[in-house]
Chain A
């Protein structure tokens, strides 16, 4: 957890006048409203702008290639910005910086993309290739069953990239809004909206 989050959460706890330290822990009950303040405080800590990201593990070229790949995997659409805006490449680069095993997957996989494009397009990198060339390559590795022979390494890498871009996107504020997840807050009561139940029953065998 970042220092900022930790500190402001503690400040909130202090602010609402509840000490959760051991000595008084027996009394340490929060009302739902107080608990909601904690949730809000935590939510307010959402990433402060940090300026342009400098890759920690990947080269500038690898990082730019990964950014492009993430943009192709989960693009912006009418619902939300995509994985590029959500910082998927940053998340993956960060993990690569603390795990050689992870770094090998990405340096190897991104290198494979360049090699595959080079063979098809006389020396271009994946990044330089026209969008339709890029997607033509992805079309050959993004479906396990129909993948072309000899593309196994690409299929394997794309599986990693797809699931990790999805992880990065859907655990970001942008992705959470895209899904419409509305929880992680304090409620005084729990109720299920009638229209949601009706929606499901109407579409079920029980209507």
Chain B
């Protein structure tokens, strides 16, 4: 039996998870002078040691293929040079899918979580995202007007590039200067203009100007590897390290939360966790808890926190915890553009990812046969050669010798790619629950996933294909790859866009939601959930900026309630 250590100081707040939501909670609470303990299931982060920024492939023996050639055999969990200590599969922490179902769950176990590597696309949700006009999903308990000032704060802290465009589908924000479009992006903009599709400067959490003591970007295009200068936003560098300097924050790494402990009055009094290094059970006492472990992990923790008073899991009288699981609808297509072949060489690294993007442009269009919409992310340019960079070229050119070498050189930088990220309507067949038959290496029951795309999402993906093909062909290019399978239309495997949301939803009705509009549990006043779990729907806008905005608002509210003595 593990040793149970009961003696511990009482923290004002225990925050579980150190990603975008946990990082924001820590920042806001410590700014108010509140004593916070932060539990992170992974190790501490040391950017100088852990980030592989600036390293050339040839400086590594296996050049990024993995020590055992994992990349060549489809077993690589994530790019070798990428920042996260994260995986689709963590041997000690498995998950399951119900028979006939598929769901992939990416976890990043390190201080800062997935914010160390993520794409940093930072889009505000629009007014109609909060109050849908089609009635296909429930309205949120907040409006865009209420959230706008919190988006201002979030953008002010993390730093987001952009331009004011006045589009209803892409609300303007508090922007840093945009970055120039690359050559292929100039062509894509012209192609889109011809097709009546907007293509505007991208909104990315990279600093085109120094703010908050973080250096301006040095444009090496490797943000996904983690940024040593903290010019690309991460919760670890921009929120948690500064909070540590206040003396109000205690970071506890290697701590896997098992259960929220409640007293007779139904309040959270402690968090029980496993210290992974020693496999010792520990408890940390608190006056309030902020759960920010990522949408599915937060649902798992609540569902595993069962007691006589909460037999269905904590804050789950409504039985909605785990339900309404969604991921973004994903589809990608690439093409080769003759106008870019032999392009004069120059440094096109810039910021990692796109410098311009396509916001949703068919709001209210009656001809389309699917609800809601999507945005388009663009790729291309002279990227640092990596293992795999020319596999497609080899397969397309075939042969060998000087013709192959000339062909690869000619085609380098001539490929453009498009990824649609669209809105899924939550459905009753997509949810997670506790698998009664399995526990992880710490003895904690694991999640079992159920997931199903509906015809709504499949039709949306078909529309993406037509749009991408039209953009490629209008710029004189040719689509790469085979036509997708007509049945699935090439839709992404559920979970693989890594935008899980909705599993601990907010709402005004405690019978149909777990949290109120401040992400506070209806049934447990000193419990807050601050990741994408509270989100009522999955707008076609990446969730991270909204996680920061909602967490900021929730934790200001928590601090105020603590000051008033209500929590």
Contacts and interface: CB of A to CB of B under 8 A. Distances in A.
A195 interface: yes
A101 B69 contact: yes
A183 interface: yes
Interface in B59-108: 59-65, 67-69, 72-73
B347 A183 contact: yes
Contact of B63 (A28, A167, A190): A167
A127 interface: no
Interface string B335-379: 001111101111111110000000000000000000000000000
B187 interface: yes
A164 B350 CA distance: 28
9 contacts: A2-B61, A43-B56, A98-B69, A172-B58, A180-B412, A190-B219, A200-B340, A204-B190, A205-B339
Given A102-B69, A167-B387, A184-B349, A142 B55 contact: no
B412 A192 contact: no
Interface in B187-221: 187, 190-191, 194, 210, 213-221
A148 to B, nearest CB: 15
Contact of B47 (A25, A27, A190, A204): A25
Given A102-B69, A162-B394, A204-B187, A192 B63 contact: no
A102 B237 CA distance: 40
B404 A74 contact: yes
Contact of B385 (A138, A171, A201): A171
Given A73-B400, A95-B69, 7 more contacts: A1-B60, A20-B48, A77-B405, A99-B68, A143-B399, A199-B183, A206-B475
A180 B546 CA distance: 40
Contact of A186 (B49, B218, B408): B218
A171 to B, nearest CB: 4
A200 B342 CA distance: 9
A95 B218 contact: no
Interface string A90-101: 010011001101
A42 B52 CA distance: 11
A158 B44 CA distance: 45
A49 interface: no
B242 interface: yes
Interface residues of B, number: 95
B258 to A, nearest CB: 26
A118 interface: no
Contacts of A181: 345, 382-385, 412
Interface of B: 44-49, 52, 54-65, 67-69, 72-73, 179-184, 186-187, 190-191, 194, 210, 213-222, 228-230, 237, 241-242, 244-245, 337-341, 343-351, 382-391, 393-395, 398-402, 404-406, 408-409, 412, 474-476
A188 interface: yes
A185 B186 CA distance: 23
A5 interface: yes
A68 interface: no
A170 B220 contact: no
A135 B403 CA distance: 14
Contacts of A191: 180
A171 B58 contact: yes
A117 interface: no
Contacts of A149: none
B220 A183 contact: yes
A99 B69 contact: yes
A200 B218 contact: no
Contact of A190 (B44, B179, B241, B386): B179
Interface residues of A, number: 84
A167 B66 CA distance: 13
Contact of B245 (A26, A35, A184): A26
Contacts of B69: 95, 98-99, 101-102
A170 B221 contact: no
A179 B412 contact: yes
A196 B237 CA distance: 36
B54 A192 contact: no
B237 A25 contact: yes
Contacts of B476: 204-205
A142 B394 CA distance: 10
A190 to B, nearest CB: 4
Contacts of A25: 46-47, 237, 241, 244
B60 A30 contact: no
Interface in A34-49: 35-36, 38-39, 42-43, 45-47
A5 B343 contact: no
A72 B401 contact: yes
A21 interface: yes
B55 A173 contact: no
Nearest to B70: A99
* Most B-side CB within 10 Å, residue of A28, A31, A168: A28
Contacts of A195: 344
A123 interface: no
Nearest to B477: A204
Contacts of A122: none
B401 A73 contact: yes
B386 A171 contact: yes
A29 B215 contact: yes
A202 to B, nearest CB: 8
Contacts of B345: 180-182
A1 B44 contact: no
* Most A-side CB within 10 Å, residue of B44, B183, B412: B183
A75 interface: yes
* Most B-side CB within 10 Å, residue of A82, A201, A206: A206
Contact of A176 (B237, B242, B343, B385): B385
A166 interface: yes
Contact of A143 (B67, B182, B398, B405): B398
Contact of A193 (B184, B216, B337, B344): B344
A13 interface: yes
A21 B46 contact: yes
A175 interface: yes
Contacts of B401: 72-75, 135
A206 B63 CA distance: 40
